[in-house]
Chains A and B, each alone.
Chain A
Amino acid sequence: MKMRNLLAASVCVLALGSNAATAETFKWAFQGDVQSLDPHGLNETFTLGYLGNIYEGLTGYDADLQLQPSLAESWENTSPTTWVFKLRQGVKFHDGSDFTADDVIFSWKRSLTEGSDMKGYGAKMADIKKIDDHTVELVTPAPNPILPRELVFLYMMDQGWSEKHGASEATSPKAADSTATYAAQNANGTGPFILTERQPDVRSKFTRFDDYWQDIPTNVTEVEFTPVSQDATRVAALISGELDLVYPIPVQDWARLEEAEGVRPLTGPEARTIFLGMDQWRDELLYSSVKGKNPLKDKRVREAMAHAIDLNAIDEKIMRGAAVPAGMMIAPQINGFDEAMNQPYDYNLEKSKQLLAEAGYPDGFELGMDCPNNRYVNDEKICQAVVGLLARAGIKVDLNAQPKSKYFAKVSPQNGNDTSFYLLGWTPGTIDVHNVLFNLMSSFDTEVNSGQFNYGRYSNPRIDAITQEVEKETDTTKRQALIAEAFKIMRDDVGYLPLHQQPLSWGVREGVTVAQRADNVLDLRSVVISK
């Protein structure tokens, strides 16, 4: 121990001697790389979170996912459909040009170009008018109480830079000529870090932007990002001291990190809810022993399943106690969460068997289940546990677990929702309940694009109506009452079987502090390396 201290001390002296005190390099790894540096190229959490260190939106999130001003200093809802945003003055892009109202309008228009994957956010505005260089007026097609939230991930680009490099349109994955992909390989934002080097899938380097507009906690001056795809290699690289932070860490490796010297697991509940869905629209299930009818259309059967699945057992045995059993389809971090609604269905095997008998299945039945095996934390193991738990009630589940690419190809609406019973996880990108009401709980409707991820096509007209009202309702109390009503209906209908909030699972080196955001985003602004 003494030897170690001596060594540490001499290392410190060496570090001071080489003038390393001014430069703090932070090395981190994730399981994959971003597909594109284009801020409008892919609407996916990791990509947007990663780019959030280079680019910024008018609004932003703090460490607790609370809405914060970012490139806009303040905003005001001047009429039900107009908002005035005051832009921050003196903000510079990495290339030195000023951030102005023109850039806001340009970025918004760019988000609506063909290759953009952010059209959904762009479409929240019907028009943006420039009032002066640092004031814009946003016009929404309908009243929208959560507009400031929907601007968080709509990142601002510099008009001049984009036009100069032929990047005025968002790069789509199908872009053929290389000039059109300039913004996918290069970046110029207003964020605290400048991208200095990038080799896709291999390494990216960042350096601190000296003219950044706000004071932030981080003392990091250089950042090195490496994607490491194998879990075992990623964990080894952290323990060996080569990296400062890696994620995700397999849940079963937490104990190893706790035992190893100089590193620790960093965990907490993620804003992602894992749940089971059931085919409630076909007259006969695709994968079942019951022919001629659909047992999952019978509420008693769904209720029986809800009471047969022991969420605490799944939490303890599969998630090492780190998951938070859920009764609601949204996590506490999500705007609109209601604690009173979050009580899970109680585990009651007798009741479950009784309900099945009442429904006419005293000996149970067979049911096929689809499950991804590389998408969520321990996804396949959760499904296996569900198979075991349902077997006790008499429902014999035939599990089909496959990689996410095959799983989504099978169960998605493009393939006609080819499933009877499935596991899915969801974090609303807007951190607001409306996204969940619209995508998961509303009826599947290709006209208005609702219920796209409602693979079991659960449908209740009242929830559809509430969803439309929640979208427009600007009165917080009324909005919350509507939300509560929708979740009450959902619960009584047993439309879905919520399982839990999955845990965040990061590993950090001792001496590194970082805010772990519940949407699993690493915000470099919060990274502090102690000497």
Chain B
Amino acid sequence: MFKFVSMRLLQSIIVMLVVGLIAFGLFRFVGDPVNNMVGQDTTLEEREALTESLGLNDPFVVQYGRFVAKAVQGDFGMSYRLRQPVSDLIAERFPATLELSLVSAFLALLLGVPMGIYTALKPKSLFSRGFMTLSLMGVSLPTFLIGILLILFFGVSLRWLPTFGRGEVVELGWWSSGFFTASGLKSLIMPAITLAIFQMTLIVRLVRAEMLEVLRTDYIKFAHARGLSPRLINFSIALRNTLVPVITIIGLQVGSIIAFAIITESVFQWPGMGLLFIQAVSEVDIPVMAAYLLLIAFVFVVINLIVDILYFVVDPRLRVQS
């Protein structure tokens, strides 16, 4: 077990290094950051001096090496655009993204799993067909569009919910939370739904497919033959067996919720990491882009590791083999 975890950690470092290398290779194609950092009257010489002092004239491998050398000491540099340490900026934005992601994931699970079970157990009912049609829409409608439609309906027409931002937040040490104020909670509703819809539809379809498969297995038939109550069979036996692969996928989805909150955050001007990243891209803020990409790579690596460890815990057969 120890060997397994340490091997995986070693691999994860390699993954992050490769992500960083690719990222730095691509930054050259994003544009020139210097033009965004100076005014129009700044002379050519000053622009060139700035480019030089930022090390942007060096080959990207050298820039990357410098970044890594500083990053291992915990120094991710200064944001070009906001002129603050990148680590401060990310620490400031992280709570917003995490709160949004967790609420979305929770919402997706809470609605997705029961809907999946229902559609599997009663595939021909009217509700099931309704759910499946809705989930098809959820999968195919772009997040941006869903966000804008929600804003127009609940924000502009009904004026029930704020159209942008995070509302008032409460500072708990270094963590800023929107859970404890009315405006914070109201602001959370629309972005959380927008972000949850895709995940939810995915869960509905996954649970349904798995459940249908399990219901066809011999041990379920046998359980019926034994005369066990349908409730016991469906929820105790079938559901439990369904959830093993579902949990794996959901674990990975949490990672992608954090990483792909970008669109939702920019539609709702949600002050999280995704918004920070997308604005960094448009202004070619290389230190922020680099740190964000590495952080996301790290999140995925950690979640993968946890999921792998969970396999050992959940599935006894794997333990026997190792």
Question: A interface vs B, CB < 8 Å?
Answer: 32-33, 35-36, 41-44, 117-121, 171-176, 178, 181, 184-185, 199-203, 226-230, 232-234, 236-237, 239-242, 374, 403-409, 412-415, 426, 429, 435, 439, 446, 449, 452-453
Cβ-based interface call for B220 (8 A): no
The 5 A-B residue pairs with the shortest CB-CB distance, nearest first, are A43-B39, A405-B31, A409-B32, A406-B31, A408-B35
How far, in whole Å, are A199 and B171 apart by their CA atoms in the complex? 13
A405 touches B39 (CB 8 A): no
B54 touches A174 (CB 8 A): yes
B54, B81, B159: the one within 8 Å of A241 (CB): B159
How far, in whole Å, are A348 and B162 apart by their CA atoms in the complex? 52
Cβ-based interface call for B43 (8 A): yes
Interface string of B136-172 (1 = CB under 8 A from A): 0000000000001001100110010011111000000
B152 touches A449 (CB 8 A): no
B164 touches A233 (CB 8 A): yes
A185, A408, A409, A426: the one within 8 Å of B84 (CB): A185
Residues in A whose Cβ lies below 8 Å from that of B148:
232-233, 236
B269 touches A409 (CB 8 A): no
Evaluate whether A230 and B267 lie within 8 angstroms (CB atoms) in the complex, with A239-B156, A240-B156 already known.
yes
Interface string of B254-291 (1 = CB under 8 A from A): 00000000000011110100011011001110000000
Given contacts A36-B82, A201-B276, 18 further A-B contacts (CB under 8 A): A43-B38, A43-B40, A44-B39, A117-B38, A201-B82, A227-B269, A229-B275, A230-B266, A237-B155, A242-B162, A403-B31, A404-B36, A405-B31, A405-B35, A409-B32, A414-B48, A415-B32, A439-B40
Evaluate whether A42 and B165 lie within 8 angstroms (CB atoms) in the complex, with A173-B78, A236-B155, A406-B30 already known.
no
Q: Considering the complex, give the chain B residue whose CB is closest to the CB of A120.
A: B41
How far, in whole Å, are A405 and B85 apart by their CA atoms in the complex? 22
Task: Please tell me the size bucket of the interface on B.
Answer: 35 or more
**Which residue, of A233, A404, A453, has the highest number of chain B Cβ atoms within 10 A?**
A233
Q: Considering the complex, give the chain A residue whose CB is closest to the CB of B80.
A: A173
B41 touches A405 (CB 8 A): no
Shortest Cβ distance from residue B135 to the other chain A in the assembled complex, whole angstroms: 26
Cβ-based interface call for B37 (8 A): yes
A200 touches B82 (CB 8 A): yes
Residues in A whose Cβ lies below 8 Å from that of B231:
none
Residues in A whose Cβ lies below 8 Å from that of B81:
35
Q: Offer 12 A-B interface pairs, CB within 8 angstroms, sorted by A.
A: A173-B54, A173-B83, A174-B78, A201-B82, A226-B269, A229-B278, A236-B155, A405-B30, A405-B283, A408-B35, A435-B41, A452-B44
Evaluate whether A199 and B30 lie within 8 angstroms (CB atoms) in the complex, with A171-B83, A240-B159, A452-B43 already known.
no
A409 touches B266 (CB 8 A): no
B39 touches A408 (CB 8 A): no
How far, in whole Å, are A362 and B276 apart by their CA atoms in the complex? 52
Cβ-based interface call for B125 (8 A): no
Question: B interface vs A, CB < 8 Å?
Answer: 30-48, 50-51, 53-54, 78, 80-85, 89, 92, 148, 151-152, 155-156, 159, 162-166, 266-269, 271, 275-276, 278-279, 282-284
Q: Considering the complex, give the chain B residue whose CB is closest to the CB of A227.
A: B269
Q: Considering the complex, give the chain A residue whose CB is closest to the CB of B82.
A: A200
Residues in A whose Cβ lies below 8 Å from that of B151:
232-233, 236
Shortest Cβ distance from residue B29 to the other chain A in the assembled complex, whole angstroms: 8
B32 touches A414 (CB 8 A): yes
Shortest Cβ distance from residue B185 to the other chain A in the assembled complex, whole angstroms: 16
Shortest Cβ distance from residue B182 to the other chain A in the assembled complex, whole angstroms: 15
Evaluate whether A405 and B36 lie within 8 angstroms (CB atoms) in the complex, with A35-B82, A43-B41, A233-B151 already known.
yes
B159, B269, B276: the one within 8 Å of A228 (CB): B269
- Report the number of A-B residue pairs with Cβ-Cβ less than 8 Å: 159
Q: Considering the complex, give the chain A residue whose CB is closest to the CB of B75.
A: A176
Q: Considering the complex, give the chain A residue whose CB is closest to the CB of B54.
A: A174
How far, in whole Å, are A408 and B39 apart by their CA atoms in the complex? 13
B159 touches A117 (CB 8 A): no
Shortest Cβ distance from residue B271 to the other chain A in the assembled complex, whole angstroms: 4
How far, in whole Å, are A393 and B267 apart by their CA atoms in the complex? 42
How far, in whole Å, are A43 and B40 apart by their CA atoms in the complex? 7
B269 touches A230 (CB 8 A): yes
A405 touches B282 (CB 8 A): yes
Residues in B whose Cβ lies below 8 Å from that of A174:
50, 53-54, 78
Residues in B whose Cβ lies below 8 Å from that of A237:
155, 163-164
Shortest Cβ distance from residue B168 to the other chain A in the assembled complex, whole angstroms: 10
Residues in A whose Cβ lies below 8 Å from that of B40:
43-44, 426, 429, 439, 453
Evaluate whether A374 and B39 lie within 8 angstroms (CB atoms) in the complex, with A201-B275, A240-B156 already known.
no
How far, in whole Å, are A202 and B96 apart by their CA atoms in the complex? 11
Evaluate whether A184 and B269 lie within 8 angstroms (CB atoms) in the complex, with A43-B41, A429-B41 already known.
no
B32, B163, B266, B284: the one within 8 Å of A240 (CB): B163
How far, in whole Å, are A60 and B50 apart by their CA atoms in the complex? 30
How far, in whole Å, are A226 and B269 apart by their CA atoms in the complex? 9
How far, in whole Å, are A239 and B81 apart by their CA atoms in the complex? 30
Shortest Cβ distance from residue A433 to the other chain B in the assembled complex, whole angstroms: 15
Residues in A whose Cβ lies below 8 Å from that of B31:
403-409
Residues in A whose Cβ lies below 8 Å from that of B36:
404-405
B83 touches A175 (CB 8 A): yes
A117 touches B39 (CB 8 A): yes
A33, A175, A201, A233: the one within 8 Å of B268 (CB): A233
Residues in A whose Cβ lies below 8 Å from that of B37:
35, 42, 173
Shortest Cβ distance from residue A182 to the other chain B in the assembled complex, whole angstroms: 11
Residues in A whose Cβ lies below 8 Å from that of B276:
201
Evaluate whether A202 and B44 lie within 8 angstroms (CB atoms) in the complex, with A236-B151, A236-B156, A405-B33 already known.
no
Q: Considering the complex, give the chain B residue whose CB is closest to the CB of A178.
A: B85
A405 touches B163 (CB 8 A): no
Q: Considering the complex, give the chain B residue whose CB is closest to the CB of A121.
A: B41
B271 touches A202 (CB 8 A): yes
How far, in whole Å, are A349 and B155 apart by their CA atoms in the complex? 49
Shortest Cβ distance from residue A111 to the other chain B in the assembled complex, whole angstroms: 12
How far, in whole Å, are A201 and B83 apart by their CA atoms in the complex? 12
Evaluate whether A236 and B152 lie within 8 angstroms (CB atoms) in the complex, with A35-B81, A36-B83, A174-B54 already known.
yes
B282 touches A120 (CB 8 A): no
B35, B50, B271: the one within 8 Å of A412 (CB): B35
How far, in whole Å, are A234 and B159 apart by their CA atoms in the complex? 15
A176 touches B78 (CB 8 A): yes
How far, in whole Å, are A172 and B54 apart by their CA atoms in the complex? 11
Residues in A whose Cβ lies below 8 Å from that of B54:
173-174
How far, in whole Å, are A439 and B48 apart by their CA atoms in the complex? 17
B44, B48, B83, B269: the one within 8 Å of A35 (CB): B83
Residues in A whose Cβ lies below 8 Å from that of B165:
202-203, 226
Shortest Cβ distance from residue B178 to the other chain A in the assembled complex, whole angstroms: 12
How far, in whole Å, are A403 and B276 apart by their CA atoms in the complex? 18
Residues in A whose Cβ lies below 8 Å from that of B269:
226-230, 233
